[in-house]
Amino acid sequence: MRYIRPLSIEDAVGQLARAVGPAAILAGGSDLLVRMKGGFVEPELIVDIKGIAGLSEIRETAEGFSIGAAVPCAVLGENAALKKAWPGVVEAAKLIGSKQVQGRCTITGNLCNASPAADSVPALVAAGAKAVVVGPSGTRTVAVEIVPTGPGKTSLAKGEIIEAILLGKRAAHSGDAYLRFIPRTEMDIAVVSAGVNLTLDEQGVVKAARVALGAAAPTVLLVEEAAEALIGRKLDEAALERLARICSGACRPIDDKRGTIEFRRKVAGVLARRAATTAYARAGGK
């Protein structure tokens, strides 16, 4: 077993591509170390990417925001501009684990861990976020929802690293929100969750919408029908009812230690509705 701390993304990609046994990328480590402790993974090579220039930064660009793969979630909450533009994404990222875990965990790691219950992913999907993937054959930019392909599985090829997550520049009258259900007030994994991202026109009519559900299927669900139910309308009671019904119907959840199928279906609708109400208010809708 080796631990390395490359200083360039090219070096990291090269080391990963050449690795003989199982290799793991280490940023925050809040998933990796737990899996190692439980004996679920035994990497031959651990590649710590925190030494790579730029990966620990949030950059505001002409196109929006670029969040480096090694930026801890706590830092997202300390970035005023990001928080103002994408409050739903930030609140989702800030829900992962405890204060202690916040100081380490990253949204890129949350995405690559590929848990259907990952908190930041529904918010990122709703936000239309993209991932910059660097690999042996170059760089590609993909929608975040195509990264996880099933519980614990991703579409990343051997040697590929997500370098950053991109969030677009905010249009006027936009707002997003994320809500999850947990039995306690902190420290739990989402039983079910919902992220909603809205853009309104001057009159408060929804122009664009994205609705995503977490822990409702093997991967995070982008519910296009739910978005369609909101577009072209103000957020009246009937629209919210419809949204809730569509979201409950779109769920393909399982019974497990965290919740039942019935519970997840029902609460997915409740959360979508509540998140939409918050997003709408954040977008300036009344």
Cβ-Cβ contacts under 8 Å for 53 (sequence gap 6 or more)? 7, 8
Rule CB under 8 A: which of 90-129 touch other proteins?
A: 97-101, 103-104
6 touching other proteins, by CB under 8 A: no
Q: List C-alpha distances in Å: 281 to 43, 95, 236, 278.
A: 46, 21, 12, 5
Q: How far apart are CA 217 and CA 192, in angstroms?
A: 10
- 237-250 vs 261-282: helix crossing angle, rounded to 10: 140
254 touching other proteins, by CB under 8 A: no
In whole angstroms, how close is the CB of 282 to other proteins at the nearest point? 21
In whole angstroms, how close is the CB of 58 to other proteins at the nearest point? 16
245 touching other proteins, by CB under 8 A: no
The 3-state DSSP class for residue 45 equals: strand
Please work out the total of residues on this chain that contact other proteins, with binding judged by CB under 8 A: 46
186 touching other proteins, by CB under 8 A: yes
Query: DSSP states of 156-181 as a string?
Result: PPTT-EEEEEEEEPPPTTEEEEEEEE
Rule CB under 8 A: which of 31-60 touch other proteins?
A: 33-34, 36-39, 43, 46, 48, 50
Binding residues for other proteins, per CB under 8 A? 1-3, 5, 26, 28-30, 33-34, 36-39, 43, 46, 48, 50, 72, 74, 97-101, 103-104, 181, 183-189, 191, 256-260, 262-263, 266-267, 270
